[in-house]
């Protein structure tokens, strides 16, 4: 156990789905996993382990922001010997052609965070997705007929609506090709690289910075179901759960 995770040895699966919201973790466990049990609830960061297509899979909340996701993913990789983390998150759209509800697979993440300074690298670190996972994700999305995009995402320490740089600060990142903005992918990919493990970030575009369109309040959970199905099928197709 750790100060942030009370799960005992062997109760967390080798593959973990990684939403930000603790209640989303509970919803995924209840709606998509069989015989799910809660294995941790420290500081409200709920974690569950259950079965999917005969295979053990866990789902655990990461909390909000890179530092929180980085701490929880590091402990999952190092302390609980997790092999693969698949983030299932929400994001703000930066390109007009990405519709509300579309999925985005993060090939790499740019950031305004100082997260990678801890590695003492003489340069700028650009973490990338684990290739077998992105290959499996594309195949899964196609099989399930779920609209998707793949490319660079921008992980920010600043929530876009509260950004003191102004309401149009996202446009510079959009011009450089960022598809969406989240807060956690950069820290997750960096931690996976540092620990030698595998990670994939799948993001549902829930609110467009370009068009102003977004999910209604009552859709904020149910509209994420296609992403969950793709993430689970990705785990199976990639061999991550074998």
What residues act catalytically?
207
* Number of residues in the chain: 242
What the block records as the tokens of 63 is 């909390």
- 122 close to 229: Cβ distance less than 8 angstroms: no
Closest C-alpha among 150, 72, 76 to residue 108 = 150
18, 44, 58, 197 from 47: Cα distances, Å: 9, 9, 7, 20
**Any idea what DSSP says for residue 63?**
-
Ramachandran quadrant class, 41 (left: phi over 0; alpha: psi -120 to 50; beta: rest): alpha
Phi, psi of 37 (to 5 degrees): -125, 145
């Amino acid at each position: 156990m750790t100060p942030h995770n009370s799960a005992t040895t062997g109760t967390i699966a080798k593959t973990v789905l990684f939403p930000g919201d603790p209640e989303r973790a509970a919803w995924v466990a209840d709606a998509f996993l069989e015989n799910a049990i809660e294995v941790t609830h420290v500081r409200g960061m709920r974690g569950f382990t259950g079965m999917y297509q005969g295979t053990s899979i866990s789902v655990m909340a990461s909390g909000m922001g890179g530092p929180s996701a980085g701490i929880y993913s590091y402990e999952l990789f190092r302390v609980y010997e997790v092999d693969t983390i698949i983030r299932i998150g929400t994001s703000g759209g930066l390109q007009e052609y990405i519709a509300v509800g579309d999925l985005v697979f993060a090939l790499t993440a740019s950031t305004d965070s100082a997260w990678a300074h801890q590695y003492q690298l003489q340069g700028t670190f650009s973490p990338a997705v684990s290739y077998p996972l992105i290959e499996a994700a594309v195949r899964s999305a196609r099989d399930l007929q779920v609209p998707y995009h793949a490319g660079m995402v921008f992980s920010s320490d600043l929530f876009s609506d509260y950004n003191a740089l102004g309401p149009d600060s996202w446009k510079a990142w959009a011009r450089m090709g960022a598809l969406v903005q989240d807060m956690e992918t950069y820290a997750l990919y960096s931690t996976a690289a540092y620990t030698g493990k595998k990670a994939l970030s799948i993001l549902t575009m829930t609110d467009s910075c370009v068009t102003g369109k977004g999910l209604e309040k009552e859709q904020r959970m149910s509209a994420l179901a296609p992403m969950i199905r793709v993430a689970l099928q990705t785990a199976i197709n990639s061999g991550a759960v074998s």
